[in-house]
Chains A and B, each alone.
Chain A
Amino acid sequence: MPNVVEHAAGARQFVTDEPRTDWHDQTLWFVRQKRDRMAHSLPEWETLRQWASQIKDHALANLSQYLERLEAQVEANGIQVHWAANAEEHNRIVEQIVRQSGGPGGVRVVKSKSMLTEECHLNDYLIRNGILVVDTDLGERIVQLRQEAPSHIVLPAIHLKKTDVSQTFARHLGTDPTNSDPQYLTEAARQHLREEFLGATVAITGVNFAVAETGTLVVCTNEGNADLGVHLADVHIACMGIEKVIPRQEHLGVFLRLLARSATGQPITTYSSHFVRPRPLSNGKRQAMHLILVDNGRSTQLGRPDFRNSLKCIRCGACFNTCPVYRRSGGHSYHNAVAGPIGSILAPNLDMKKNADLPFASTLCGSCANVCPVKIDIDKQLWLWRQELTRQGMAPVSKTLAMRLMSTVLSSPVLYGWSGKIGRRLMRLFPGLVSNRFNPWYRGREMPQPPQQSFGEWYRQQPKKHE
């Protein structure tokens, strides 16, 4: 595995370009404000959140039952079900289905947005194995052309400006590099993607919600690209994490009302498509439909009582948009398919060592937990992951020693009093001892000015008048 740049270093790099950081921050804050207007215009908003949270809690507590129910229902509808324990299994299953679907002209695969396939690095896998896969979500296609990872789960290319997109399209699609008009660029993407849609034999989609009661697979997009792909290809592969199952059709209304409002401040996604059974093809056969149910660490997370409810996530991205750290550090600094606050509590479950920095990429301000439409206590879990990482020996030795020293000094009135007094005196006499470039505080801030007396010293000199 290549060396991962830790969040703090990635973030430092990101904020180097301050105007661009401001633009990134303001763009995402604009989305957060749109979300607020929607959330605040529904009197039942907090009730909806409560319901969504409870439905998910219930579904997770009875996950095995609902998954079996889903499997039975989906199979009864004529869809083939596959189970994948991890990313590798998932990718191999997709590969096999794709290979079986190949006509004489080979296979062409289109894929609509799916964070699960990002998590499994499906594109890399397929391309390594000689299978061409084209992302059809506009933002995903832009980052795919640039060979980048999405920087946001809902707005994958939010780190890019239209001029960046213009350059990318000029290089790959032959557009005019001096033209960054969104209308022009979108039209170029439409024409390019149309060819891909028309030539595709296999369409891969994610799944936002799978209804156990009916076996319905619900896919939400704004661009209609999932539908276009599925309706033109003879084979549909739907990939879902096992936590996406919800018990009943009537629960869907709760989630669909919350999802787009939380994500982009829309009342609902433009397309909320319900895929139930294979459609008939013009040649008299039926479309082949596959559902891949992927665990990839989810049952491990389910077994961690402190972190279980992170699986309630419906991938709306509201916690990204509200996170003051994410807005100023960009998605790539999180070096994980799912970035932001939710990514920071999901990632350590997948790879504790690689992602040990992420729970610390937060001020624990708690905004995330309060925008979350399914009420995941993200800030609490960030704190708990910090403790867990320390227990698992992930803290550097230097930090452990520093913390022990701090604890010793800060819990002893004598040591605390002395070190405070001496420290303040040194700071007054030799400000350069702390106000230097080796002190990370001082890089962007002045040190506090130490007073002659601490409060404790002052108080001891006061005449005792109270009894």
Chain B
Amino acid sequence: MRVALFVPCYVDQFYPQVAIAMLRLLQQLGCTVDVPAGQTCCGQPMANAGFNSLSGPCFGQFNRVFVGHKIVVVPSGSCVLHLKEHNPAFEGQIYELCEFLTDVLAIKSLPDSSSSQRGTVRVGLHQSCHGQRGLRLAAMSERNEPAFSKPETLLRLVEGVELVPLNRADECCGFGGTFCVTEEAVSVKMGKDRVADHLRAGADVITGTDMSCLMHLEGILRRQGSTVQVKHIAEILYEC
């Protein structure tokens, strides 16, 4: 299957290893992966700050870069949701990585996962809100609905990954785009509380589908001097 990779701006700049893991993973799964040149940002930072009109140039750039690509895969639920909701001019299909793996490729196993000789890693899964509630990557605690979780389904394919149970399985981490600086105090408090839940559960690694949430949680972990790591789910899925 031929897919194009869209790497969100902050992943491109600060977490290239996430995009590399995703690229390699998709290639291992038999995809032909294009990374069209000239990609920048989905425009969400401006839109969530009340300037969706200024998302326009970003949409224009996105649409020029990805024109003709039928399937675009993105390692971020939040960027995907923004593009789906506010950039109707794009004609291709846009998928967050997990939903692409479970719904389109419908993978039942990961490449090389049997060869993994690692010990057990205790992983806390952070459900990023836009992916979970916006893209419906997982059931949400607010609703009376059957349990499901696309990220969890994938993580369960990884040998040696033990998911730790959280007290609040789907509470927001407090990143929230520009909220993280305009409402810095509450943002940090929310992040500290999320981190505490994962630490209490004994997580060695906190993972999730959005690096923005993880960047925020990582900032708090490092400020606390914690050795707990954050990893995008692509890094865990590819590592195996």
Question: Contacting A324 at CB < 8 Å: which of B9, B15, B35, B174?
Answer: B174
Question: Contacting B144 at CB < 8 Å: which of A21, A43, A369, A457?
Answer: A43
The closest CB in chain B to the CB of A383 belongs to B48
Do A441 and B61 touch across chains, with their CB atoms under 8 A apart?
no
A284 on the interface (CB 8 Å rule)? no
Question: Contacting B19 at CB < 8 Å: which of A42, A369, A443, A455?
Answer: A455
| Bound-state Cα–Cα, A424 to B37, Å | 20
**Most chain A beta-carbon contacts within 10 A, residue among B49, B174, B215:** B49
Within 8 A of A (CB), among B1-51: 7, 9, 11-17, 19-20, 23, 32-35, 37-41, 43, 45-51
A51 on the interface (CB 8 Å rule)? no
Do B57 and A413 touch across chains, with their CB atoms under 8 A apart?
no
A-contact bits for B38-81, CB 8 A (1 contact / 0 none): 11110101111111111111101100000000000000000000
| Bound-state Cα–Cα, A363 to B187, Å | 9
Asked, given contacts A46-B144, A441-B180, A455-B20, whether A403 binds B129 with beta carbons under 8 Å apart, the answer is no
Question: Contacting A444 at CB < 8 Å: which of B13, B20, B184?
Answer: B184
Within 8 A of B (CB), among A347-370: 359-367, 369-370
Do A360 and B182 touch across chains, with their CB atoms under 8 A apart?
yes
Do B54 and A420 touch across chains, with their CB atoms under 8 A apart?
no
- Find chain B residues with CB under 8 A from A466 CB: 32-34
CB distance from A322 to the nearest CB of B (A): 7
B190 on the interface (CB 8 Å rule)? yes
B123 on the interface (CB 8 Å rule)? no
- Find chain B residues with CB under 8 A from A367 CB: 129, 133, 140, 142, 170-172
CB distance from A441 to the nearest CB of B (A): 6
Do A459 and B35 touch across chains, with their CB atoms under 8 A apart?
yes
CB distance from A7 to the nearest CB of B (A): 7
- Find chain B residues with CB under 8 A from A42 CB: 144
Do A444 and B220 touch across chains, with their CB atoms under 8 A apart?
yes
The closest CB in chain B to the CB of A404 belongs to B54
CB distance from B204 to the nearest CB of A (A): 19
- Find chain B residues with CB under 8 A from A18 CB: 189
| Bound-state Cα–Cα, A406 to B56, Å | 12
B218 on the interface (CB 8 Å rule)? yes
**Most chain B beta-carbon contacts within 10 A, residue among A43, A322, A363, A447:** A363
Do A416 and B189 touch across chains, with their CB atoms under 8 A apart?
no
- Find chain B residues with CB under 8 A from A455 CB: 7, 11-12, 16, 19-20
Question: Contacting B49 at CB < 8 Å: which of A369, A399, A454?
Answer: A399
Within 8 A of A (CB), among B99-118: none
A395 on the interface (CB 8 Å rule)? yes
CB distance from A282 to the nearest CB of B (A): 49
A100 on the interface (CB 8 Å rule)? no
Do A411 and B184 touch across chains, with their CB atoms under 8 A apart?
no
| Bound-state Cα–Cα, A453 to B20, Å | 12
The closest CB in chain B to the CB of A40 belongs to B144
A166 on the interface (CB 8 Å rule)? no
B191 on the interface (CB 8 Å rule)? yes
| Bound-state Cα–Cα, A322 to B143, Å | 12
| Bound-state Cα–Cα, A410 to B32, Å | 27
Asked, given contacts A366-B134, A407-B54, whether A441 binds B189 with beta carbons under 8 Å apart, the answer is no
A448 on the interface (CB 8 Å rule)? yes
A325 on the interface (CB 8 Å rule)? yes
Asked, given contacts A361-B183, A367-B142, whether A411 binds B57 with beta carbons under 8 Å apart, the answer is yes
> Interface of chain B, helix or strand or loop or mixed?
helix
- Find chain B residues with CB under 8 A from A390 CB: 50-51, 53
- Find chain B residues with CB under 8 A from A386 CB: 48-50
A302 on the interface (CB 8 Å rule)? no
Asked, given contacts A11-B183, A43-B144, A390-B51, whether A328 binds B189 with beta carbons under 8 Å apart, the answer is yes
Do A411 and B129 touch across chains, with their CB atoms under 8 A apart?
no
Do B189 and A15 touch across chains, with their CB atoms under 8 A apart?
yes
B-contact bits for A442-461, CB 8 A (1 contact / 0 none): 01111111110111111110
B200 on the interface (CB 8 Å rule)? no
Question: Contacting B184 at CB < 8 Å: which of A371, A440, A450?
Answer: A440
CB distance from A24 to the nearest CB of B (A): 11
Asked, given contacts A363-B176, A403-B54, A412-B40, whether A441 binds B184 with beta carbons under 8 Å apart, the answer is yes
CB distance from A208 to the nearest CB of B (A): 23
A296 on the interface (CB 8 Å rule)? no
CB distance from A135 to the nearest CB of B (A): 30
- Find chain A residues with CB under 8 A from B133 CB: 365-367, 369-370
Asked, given contacts A361-B183, A406-B46, whether A448 binds B218 with beta carbons under 8 Å apart, the answer is yes
A387 on the interface (CB 8 Å rule)? yes
A-contact bits for B123-150, CB 8 A (1 contact / 0 none): 0000001100110000011111100000
CB distance from B235 to the nearest CB of A (A): 13
B156 on the interface (CB 8 Å rule)? no
Question: Contacting B223 at CB < 8 Å: which of A39, A43, A445?
Answer: A445
Question: Contacting A411 at CB < 8 Å: which of B61, B168, B193?
Answer: B61
CB distance from B145 to the nearest CB of A (A): 7
- Find chain B residues with CB under 8 A from A370 CB: 133, 140, 142-143
A329 on the interface (CB 8 Å rule)? yes
Question: Contacting A454 at CB < 8 Å: which of B12, B144, B184, B220?
Answer: B12
B97 on the interface (CB 8 Å rule)? no
- Find chain A residues with CB under 8 A from B187 CB: 363, 444
Do B58 and A411 touch across chains, with their CB atoms under 8 A apart?
yes
- Find chain A residues with CB under 8 A from B218 CB: 446, 448
Name A's B-contacting residues (CB within 8 A): 7-8, 11-12, 15, 18, 21-22, 25, 29, 36, 39-40, 42-43, 45-46, 322, 324-325, 328-329, 359-367, 369-371, 383, 386-387, 389-390, 395, 399-400, 403-404, 406-408, 410-413, 416, 420, 423-424, 440-441, 443-451, 453-460, 466-467
A-B contacts, 15 listed (Cβ < 8 Å): A12-B184, A46-B144, A328-B190, A364-B177, A366-B129, A410-B45, A411-B57, A443-B184, A448-B14, A448-B15, A448-B215, A448-B218, A455-B16, A466-B32, A467-B32
Q: 13 additional contacts, CB 8 Å, given A29-B168, A413-B61?
A: A22-B193, A324-B174, A365-B172, A387-B52, A389-B50, A408-B57, A410-B9, A412-B61, A420-B12, A446-B222, A448-B218, A455-B20, A459-B35
